[in-house]
Amino acid sequence: METPDKPRLDAALAAIAAADAEALEAQRVAALGKAGWITLALKTLGAMTPEQRLVEGPRIQGMRAAVADAITARAAVLDAAALDARLASEVLDLTLPAPEAPRGSVHPVSQVMDELAEIFADLGFAVATGPEIEDDWHNFTALNMAETHPARAMHDTFYFPDVDAEGRPASNSEAVGRQGRMLLRTHTSPVQIRAMVQKGAPLRIIAPGRVYRSDSDATHTPMFHQVEGLVIDEGIHLGHLKWTLETFLKAFFERDDIVLRLRPSYFPFTEPSVEVDVGWQDVGGRRVLGGDGDAPGHGWMELLGSGMVNRRVIEFAGLDPDRWQGFAFGVGVDRLAMLKYGMDDLRAFFDGDGRWLAHYGFTAFDQPTLSAGVGSKETGIRA
């Protein structure tokens, strides 16, 4: 039996089949829009009895589906026709120069990582990596930081929730003191432990990578990059450490007048421990690394931490501390990039701003080499 809406539906389907793009949109609004005749028909279902809805509901939904399918089919036909017309009318002149396309760039952090690898490879160091999700033993205990060690307060650590053997949340009493607690590593020092355990001694490695601490301002971010170095061998002393750092910094900043000052400090995994300051000089109102920090117009800048590897750390790695000695150092890769290439806000490293990347980024051809110079941009730091 023909319903009262049947002629209207037939007329709508006929209009859709013959419509152009503008008319098709008008037909969609007239039928399926907020005030469309099918939408209004759907709204009448709420006032019907259950018996009436059993009949009218499928009928109205059928009309809605028929109109929607017809609109989709007609839109596909119109799109195909528009594409055919465009392909027939557009001509590509292959003799014209290629249009300028946006180019990507190498992030300064990636570039500095390559520079570090190039410099230390020349000094006989290998590059070692490790997991960013670490356990408590590798990140703290094996580095001479017991569960109650005050040095743990120096690290604002991201811990993962503790769970029991069946994956359920563990109670606080179960979690406290458990060596298997998982966390985001706070430094790349766990890589040193893993390398000593796996490869033994002698050993020369650098460990670059991402690390995580709960801190954020212009010079700190919750995620940043760090590189640590480790040498384990017989007869190693503090003089070897100073020579290595001087050689590295002279090559990295491409200046022969880099002067270091070592100050006593404390790190639980080194003994003795030293902070390393680098001399800077004022050049045209701008601080530039190089020169004696005690001279007039000069100063000292704290750059990295280092020291002789603690005997207990060597023991934790399964080596004999009476035979093997070593030194270790660590420095922020992002900080090195800021100092060398004149950046003043660490947060910009992770904003993804195309303008910043275009200014500070490197091309794929800026490959660091010791013969041609590891850097290709102006060296120095802002005042």
Can you give the CATH number for the domain in which 325 is found? 3.30.930.10
Detail the DSSP E strand segments found in the chain.
Answer: 126-127, 133-135, 182-184, 203-212, 223-233, 260-267, 270-283, 286-289, 298-309, 325-332
Indicate if 164 and 295 belong to the same structural domain.
Answer: yes
User: What is the token pair recorded at 279?
Assistant: 């001399």
CA 246 to chain centre: 29
Query: What average pLDDT is seen over the chain?
Result: 84
Q: Is the pLDDT of residue 290 over 70?
A: yes
- Measured CA to CA, the distance from residue 177 to residue 34 in angstroms comes to 62
Total domains, the chain: 2
User: What is the token pair recorded at 36?
Assistant: 């469309």
Indicate if 52 and 139 belong to the same structural domain.
Answer: no
Indicate if 64 and 126 belong to the same structural domain.
Answer: no
What tens digit of pLDDT does each residue of 203-236 get? 999 999 999 987 666 556 788 899 999 999 999 9
Indicate if 298 and 241 belong to the same structural domain.
Answer: yes
What tens digit of pLDDT does each residue of 320-356 get? 999 999 999 999 898 888 888 888 777 888 888 888 8
| HEC-encoded secondary structure of 159-192 | ECCCECCCCCECCHHHHCCCCCCEEECCCCHHHH
Q: 70 lies in which domain range?
A: 6-89
Q: Is 99 a member of any domain?
A: no
Indicate if 184 and 135 belong to the same structural domain.
Answer: yes
Residue 154 banded pLDDT, cuts 50, 70, 90: low
Q: Is 128 a member of any domain?
A: yes
Indicate if 141 and 244 belong to the same structural domain.
Answer: yes
Indicate if 202 and 256 belong to the same structural domain.
Answer: yes
Indicate if 316 and 257 belong to the same structural domain.
Answer: yes
pLDDT value for 4: 67
Indicate if 184 and 75 belong to the same structural domain.
Answer: no
User: What is the token pair recorded at 277?
Assistant: 């300051």
pLDDT value for 242: 94
Q: Is 214 a member of any domain?
A: yes
Residue 56 banded pLDDT, cuts 50, 70, 90: confident
Residue 8 banded pLDDT, cuts 50, 70, 90: confident
Q: Is the pLDDT of residue 12 over 80?
A: yes
Indicate if 120 and 162 belong to the same structural domain.
Answer: yes
Indicate if 285 and 185 belong to the same structural domain.
Answer: yes
Q: Is the pLDDT of residue 286 over 80?
A: no
Residue 379 banded pLDDT, cuts 50, 70, 90: very low
Residue % of the chain over a pLDDT of 70: 87
Q: Pick 116 or 93 by higher pLDDT.
A: 116
Residue 246 banded pLDDT, cuts 50, 70, 90: very high
Q: Is the pLDDT of residue 160 over 50?
A: yes
Indicate if 160 and 300 belong to the same structural domain.
Answer: yes
Q: Is 365 a member of any domain?
A: no
Using alpha carbons, select from 306, 285, 313 the residue that is nearest to residue 380: 285
Question: Average of pLDDT values for 251-277?
Answer: 90
